[in-house]
Amino acid sequence: MTIREGSLEAPTRHPLDWQSAGFYDAAQLDKELERIFGICHGCRRCVNLCTAFPTLFDLVDGSKTLEVDGVAKQDYRKVVDQCYLCDMCYMTKCPYVPPHPWNVDFPHLMLRAKAVKFRKGGATFRDQLLSSTVAVGRLATIPVVVQFVNAANKTGVIRGVMEKALGVHKDRVLPEYASTKFRSSARANASFPVRDGKNTPGKVAVFATCYVNYNEPGIGHDLLKVFAHNEIPATLVEKEACCGMPKLELGDLKAVARNKAANIPVLARLAREGYAILTAVPSCTLMFKQELPLMFPDDPDVKEVAEAMFDPFEYLVLRHKDGLLKTDFRQPLGKVAYHVPCHLRVQNIGQKTRELLEMIPATRVTTVERCAGHDGTWGVKSEYFENSMKIGRPVFRQMAEPGPDYVSSDCAIAGRHILQGMGETKAQKQHPLSLIRIAYGL
């Protein structure tokens, strides 16, 4: 039988069989890694996406057989460690994703390998710490402590000690922690009448996210201001845990399940009450839209939440299509260099942020659609920092070329990473939601 070369069908994804014993069987994993690596070696289309594929191809090209069978099984881990689950190979490059019979899902195979590693040996103290976003956020935002943490993160001597003790690279610019958390200071306005549109529910519930709550609450406040300006009744999700993405990337799937058990009942109730649910962090939105439904395909509450979940700009552009979004922008933005983060691209909603920014008069938007290479905690770690900057170089260059007034990404961490990589620039870093608030003159 001849297997067709590539596929013209829309890609689909199979549920993640993470609760079966075979999922964690090391021999079965190695067999599947060898199969997929062999296909990737024969194709090599993804060589320029990240450092996982060059690592694989260097291992093959340096082996005695010049094939995957010449690579030592223990060296497979070198490839796995370079993958930070951006999903770009699956979404933009690979011609063999399901429903093609070769069934290549490289990111989820890497996730499986990370889960096997975690179950076998756990994780380092650093990796557990960096992925415990709520615990660290609560500690770091204690009054007095927050000033010390922020000062320490900018002090060269202390950062040198941190690198030696924790493996957090001394040159990585880290986000500050907020002295006032978003959830404790947010003033959501639910007093407006509900106006459902053809494409959108007329009321919204905001899932704060760890990052907005502890690091950049201004993003959340700007989102609420945009809703209030458009007379959209908004509320905060009553209580929330981390979405689970940091633990997913670590391979700690039981921790993901625990966070799911805390979040989904609350969010499902809101979904049943007719709310659109939004988060201002693409990775968190993706977690509820894609990863949890693939981990728990038979859970009706997970499905309801996924169907009610919107990216903020997806929601706002759909409100515009419904004739329910104000376009009374007062403040032009000039030149905006806008980066589309990977976990927003994976949502398959199109460039909604760009669409809305381009509605602002006297605003020129340059869009860069390429992985910036930071990915949550990956680009913070000493052993991956240089690679994260290498992956980001094309993005840094393209973002700087128009001489922008603003540098912006829906992923706030990517925005900071890009600004660091650009070096000296007159551009201000602002989240797209903040740009909309500025344009409205709020």
Q: Which of 59, 34, 39, 85 is nearest to 286 (CA)?
A: 85
Q: Is residue 405 part of a domain?
A: yes
Alpha-helical runs (H) found in 62-155: 76-82, 88, 106-121, 125-131, 133-140, 145-152
Query: What is the spatial distance between Cα 408 and Cα 389, in angstroms, rounded to a whole number?
Result: 18
Q: Is residue 297 part of a domain?
A: yes
Q: Is residue 91 part of a domain?
A: yes
In tens, the pLDDT along 87-121 reads 999 988 899 999 999 999 999 999 999 999 999 98
In tens, the pLDDT along 268-284 reads 999 999 999 999 999 99
Average pLDDT, the chain: 95
Identify whether residues 201 and 291 lie together within a single domain. Answer: yes
pLDDT at 3: 58
pLDDT at 153: 95
Which whole number is the average pLDDT over 288-314?
98
Identify whether residues 284 and 399 lie together within a single domain. Answer: no
Cis peptide before 99 (omega within 30 of 0): yes
Is the pLDDT at 403 greater than 80? The verdict is yes
Identify whether residues 38 and 83 lie together within a single domain. Answer: yes
Query: What is the spatial distance between Cα 432 and Cα 352, in angstroms, rounded to a whole number?
Result: 11
In tens, the pLDDT along 353-394 reads 999 999 999 999 999 999 999 988 999 999 999 999 999 999
Question: In the structure, what pLDDT confidence band is assigned to residue 223 with cuts at 50, 70 and 90?
Answer: very high
Q: What dihedral angle (degrees, nearest 10) is formed by the CA atoms of 182, 185, 191, 196?
A: 0
pLDDT at 6: 63
Which of 121, 152, 172 is a domain's end point? Answer: 121
Which residues, 6 or more positions from 325, have their beta carbon under 8 angstroms from its beta carbon?
A: 230, 316, 317, 319
pLDDT at 11: 83
CB 430 within 8 A of CB 438: yes
In tens, the pLDDT along 44-67 reads 999 999 999 999 999 999 999 999
In tens, the pLDDT along 5-55 reads 666 777 889 999 999 999 999 999 999 999 999 999 999 999 999 999 999
Q: How many CB atoms lie within 10 A of CB 90?
A: 20
Owner of token pair 């006032």: 180
Domain hosting 287: range is 182-318
Instruction: Give me the percent of the chain exceeding a pLDDT of 70.
Output: 98
Q: What values do phi and psi take at 49, rounded to 5?
A: -80, -40
**C-alpha of 182 from chain center:** 20
Q: Is residue 295 part of a domain?
A: yes
Identify whether residues 427 and 333 lie together within a single domain. Answer: yes
Identify whether residues 209 and 92 lie together within a single domain. Answer: no
Question: In the structure, what pLDDT confidence band is assigned to residue 260 with cuts at 50, 70 and 90?
Answer: very high
Identify whether residues 410 and 378 lie together within a single domain. Answer: yes
Identify whether residues 37 and 84 lie together within a single domain. Answer: yes
Is the pLDDT at 124 greater than 80? The verdict is yes
E strands within 189-286? 204-206, 234-236, 276-278
Q: Is residue 373 part of a domain?
A: yes
Is the pLDDT at 2 greater than 60? The verdict is no
For the chain, counts of helices (H) and of strands (E): 23, 8
pLDDT at 376: 87
CB 418 within 8 A of CB 409: yes
Q: What is the CA radius of gyration of the chain?
A: 22
- Residue 61's alpha-carbon distances to 50, 67, 73, 148, in angstroms, are 18, 7, 15, 49
pLDDT at 169: 96
Which residues, 6 or more positions from 172, have their beta carbon under 8 angstroms from its beta carbon?
A: 379, 380, 385, 420
Which of 290, 318, 346 is a domain's end point? Answer: 318
Q: How many CB atoms lie within 10 A of CB 125?
A: 11
pLDDT at 375: 86
Q: What values do phi and psi take at 370, rounded to 5?
A: -155, 150
Q: How many domains does the chain have?
A: 3
Instruction: Give me the percent of the chain exceeding a pLDDT of 90.
Output: 95
Which residues in 93-108 are b (16+ Cβ under 10 Å) and which e? bbbbbbebebebbbbb
The residue that leads in pLDDT, 122 or 343, is 343
Identify whether residues 279 and 351 lie together within a single domain. Answer: no
Query: What is the spatial distance between Cα 158 and Cα 136, in angstroms, rounded to a whole number?
Result: 18
Query: What is the spatial distance between Cα 272 and Cα 435, in angstroms, rounded to a whole number?
Result: 32
E strands within 145-239? 204-206, 234-236
Q: What is the DSSP letter of 381?
A: B
Identify whether residues 367 and 289 lie together within a single domain. Answer: no
Identify whether residues 296 and 337 lie together within a single domain. Answer: no
Identify whether residues 215 and 274 lie together within a single domain. Answer: yes
Identify whether residues 362 and 314 lie together within a single domain. Answer: no
Which of 121, 146, 165 is a domain's end point? Answer: 121
Which whole number is the average pLDDT over 293-309?
98
Q: Which of 356, 369, 344 is nearest to 316 (CA)?
A: 356
Query: What is the spatial distance between Cα 256 and Cα 209, in angstroms, rounded to a whole number?
Result: 15
Is the pLDDT at 1 greater than 50? The verdict is no
Q: Is residue 68 part of a domain?
A: yes
Q: Is residue 299 part of a domain?
A: yes
Which whole number is the average pLDDT over 391-413?
96
Alpha-helical runs (H) found in 338-411: 342-345, 352-357, 385-400
Which whole number is the average pLDDT over 150-168?
95
pLDDT at 4: 63
In tens, the pLDDT along 316-338 reads 999 999 999 999 999 999 999 99
What type of residue is 146? Answer: V
Q: Is residue 129 part of a domain?
A: no
List, as one string, the DSSP characters of 404-431: -SEEEESSHHHHHHHHHHH-S-SPEE--
CATH number assigned to the domain comprising residue 417 = 3.40.50
Question: Residue 3, by phi and psi: left (phi above 0), alpha (psi -120 to 50) or beta?
Answer: beta
pTM over 0.85: yes
